[in-house]
């Protein structure tokens, strides 16, 4: 078998195109233009690339974007004051504070200061709770974007054995929940897991979000599996690779996401989707 490419760039562009249409309908009906505030603290080069992509996506769908590029030394109190201002600014429907933050800032406290209705990352404790309990709320972008990708395969999700490698707050753990809620039998693997290859071999749907190039070997993959690679690793030669050996995995899988051009693009498009959803659900 040779895998079909689950084309995150194309699926993300189609999603953005649909959102752009909905924005023009909304604005023509006299409703507000959705607004997204993107807060970047410090000069982490990877963060700069991601933030640039988010601001570009805002332009593409005719959202208003409010950009804050702050020095790494910004006092915590100034950031709280900024969040408070954005929370009460009616032109702003979504607030994103790019992570990681400099070490002197308590990221958890700052994220929890965001109005949960504007927390388009879905990182606020209230939104994580809503996801767990299946209540209305904003859902973390990367796992939600992966569910959109899975809907573009020819395979059902319900009933499949999903194996998630990585249990981070923002990606691996909410990913396992999304798949569980969609009717998968789920297995989460992490650094204490014994026999990672044995679990990977059982996956009908494999999602890897660790950040270690080549962690998952192609020969571990169950023939016909769907492989979702969330890792983004920059090699010394400047190229980007995921956590899965792409060529060897693609020889066995039915579908596979590329890096770049896979999950990363969906994360950005889903952030935009969440911002429109926030505007429509909470502020119309
Ligand atoms: N508050 C917060 N929310 C986030 O959603 C968030 C964050 N902090 N911190 C960092 C991670 C990472 N992330 C990505 C965004 C875009 C691409 C992306 O556009 N990737 C492209 C190109 C990547 C490149 O050229 O470097 C691709 O995979 O094709 C990837 C990863 C969002 N994150």
Mean pLDDT of the chain: 97
Is pLDDT at 223 greater than 90 in this prediction?
yes
Is 69 a residue of the active site? no
Q: Is 191 a catalytic residue?
A: no
* Ligand 1 pocket by Cβ (under 6 Å): 49-50, 53, 96-99, 121, 141, 232, 240, 259-261, 264-265, 267-268
Phi/psi of residue 234, nearest 5 degrees: -95, 120
* Average pLDDT value for residue range 218-225: 98
Ligand 1 pocket test target in 7, 8, 232 with most atoms within 8 Å of CB: 232
What pTM does this model have?
0.98
Gap from CA of 51 to ligand 1 centroid (Å) = 8
Task: Inform me whether the pLDDT recorded for 1 exceeds 80.
Answer: no
121 is catalytic: yes
Residues making up the annotated binding site for NADP(+) are: 166-168, 232
User: What is the pairing mode between strands 161-165 and 94-97?
Assistant: unpaired
Residue nearest to atom 20 of ligand 1 (CA): 264
Q: C-alpha distances in angstroms, 28 versus 8, 25, 65, 149?
A: 30, 5, 19, 30
High-pLDDT (> 70) share of the chain, %: 100
Residue with CA at minimum distance from ligand 1 atom 12: 50
**Gap from CA of 215 to ligand 1 centroid (Å):** 20
ipTM score over 0.90, yes or no: yes
Q: How far is the CA of 261 from the centre of ligand 1 (A)?
A: 11
């Amino acid at each position: 078998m040779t895998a079909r490419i689950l084309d995150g760039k194309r699926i993300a562009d189609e999603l953005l195109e649909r959102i752009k249409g909905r924005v023009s309908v909304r604005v023509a009906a006299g409703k507000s233009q959705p607004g997204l505030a993107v807060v970047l603290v410090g000069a982490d080069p990877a963060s700069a690339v991601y933030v640039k992509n988010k601001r570009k996506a805002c332009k593409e769908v005719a959202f208003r974007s409010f950009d804050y590029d702050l020095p790494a030394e910004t006092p915590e109190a100034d950031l709280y004051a900024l969040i408070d201002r954005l929370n009460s600014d009616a032109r702003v429907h979504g607030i994103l504070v790019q992570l990681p933050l400099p070490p002197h800032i308590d990221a958890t406290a700052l994220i929890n200061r965001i109005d949960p209705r504007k927390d388009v990352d879905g990182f606020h404790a209230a939104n994580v709770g809503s996801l767990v309990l299946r209540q209305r709320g904003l859902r973390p972008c990367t796992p939600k974007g992966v569910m959109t990708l899975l809907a573009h395969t020819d395979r059902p999700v319900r009933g499949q054995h999903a194996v998630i490698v990585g249990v981070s707050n923002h990606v691996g753990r909410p990913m396992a929940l999304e798949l569980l809620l969609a009717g998968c039998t789920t297995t989460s693997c992490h650094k204490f897991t014994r026999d990672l290859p044995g679990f990977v071999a059982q996956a009908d749907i494999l999602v890897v979000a660790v950040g270690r190039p080549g962690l998952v070997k192609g020969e571990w993959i169950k023939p016909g599996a769907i492989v979702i690679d969330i890792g983004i690793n920059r090699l010394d030669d400047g190229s980007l690779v995921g956590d899965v050996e792409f060529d060897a995995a693609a020889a066995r899988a039915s579908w596979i996401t590329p890096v770049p051009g896979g999950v990363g693009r969906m994360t950005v498009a889903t952030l935009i989707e969440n911002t429109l959803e926030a505007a429509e659900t909470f502020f119309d």
